């Protein structure tokens, strides 16, 4: 296989202020270093931050929402809701098991897209209309709750060998002494020194899993 040097870049992952520098080459030609790169629909950054990815999907969702507001202005709520669930929400949830944010800024950024969509769906644009009440009245869950459910579902499938991934390197049954407060399906929690690791998929979802038992 021949690689196209013009389309080949590298991304260095590090949280250090002064990461080690190394020049990667393909043959005799140096490769260009990127600070962010979109791979399989998810934008990865060299600092392992999801800000760039979330900003990107929110911008894309807003553009689609404005398009729908123009095209479906006179449509009934059921049609608008179907359009939102089909064309916009998937943009906000694609691969969310990987990048589910923990900062209030990113969580609110995503929720604000849905709040604007709910106003559009039910034609409630007055500042006195509450998107939260509209969501509750129409059983529309917060995106954060949907992402949490998606993480727990993925963990369940992994733990029960329903995916082509060996769970052993990542998950194990808790060895704590059984008490009335201990559930037999509890998993061994991760120890985290940083928020970056604490709120990554396995440490965060194992904690949520144990808390839900």
DSSP 179: -
Cβ atoms < 10 Å from Cβ of 168: 7
What SS3 string covers 125-176?
A: CCCCCCHHHHHHHCCCCCHHHHHHHHHHHHHHHHHCCCCCCCCCCCCCECCC
Statement: residue 177 has pLDDT above 70: no
Distance CA 17, CA 119 (A): 43
Statement: residue 178 has pLDDT above 70: no
pLDDT in tens, 4-49: 888 889 999 988 878 788 888 888 889 999 999 999 999 999 999 9
Residue 180 has a pLDDT of: 56
Residue 181 has a pLDDT of: 61
| pLDDT-based confidence at residue 179 (cuts at 50, 70, 90) | low
Residue 95 has a pLDDT of: 98
* pTM, 2 dp: 0.92
pLDDT (mean) for 57-70:
98
């Amino acid at each position: 296989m021949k690689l196209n040097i013009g389309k080949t870049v590298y991304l260095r992952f590090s949280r250090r202020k002064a990461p080690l520098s190394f020049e990667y080459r393909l043959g005799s030609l140096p490769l260009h270093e990127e600070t962010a790169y979109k791979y399989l629909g998810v934008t990865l950054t060299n600092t392992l931050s999801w800000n760039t990815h979330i900003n990107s999907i929110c911008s894309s969702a807003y553009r689609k929402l404005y398009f729908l507001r123009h095209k479906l202005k006179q449509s009934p709520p059921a049609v608008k809701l179907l359009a939102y669930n089909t064309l916009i929400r998937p943009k906000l949830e694609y691969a969310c098991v990987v990048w589910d944010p923990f900062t209030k800024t990113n969580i609110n950024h995503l929720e604000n897209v849905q709040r604007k969509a709910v106003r559009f769906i039910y034609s409630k644009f007055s500042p006195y209309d509450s998107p939260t009440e509209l969501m509750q009245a129409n059983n529309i869950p917060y995106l954060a709750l949907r992402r949490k459910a998606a993480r727990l579902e993925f963990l369940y499938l992994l733990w029960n060998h329903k995916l082509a991934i060996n769970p052993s390197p990542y998950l194990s049954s808790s060895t704590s002494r059984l008490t009335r407060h201990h559930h037999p399906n509890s998993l061994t929690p991760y120890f985290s020194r940083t928020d970056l690791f604490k709120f990554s998929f396995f440490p965060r979802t194992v904690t949520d899993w144990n808390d839900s038992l």
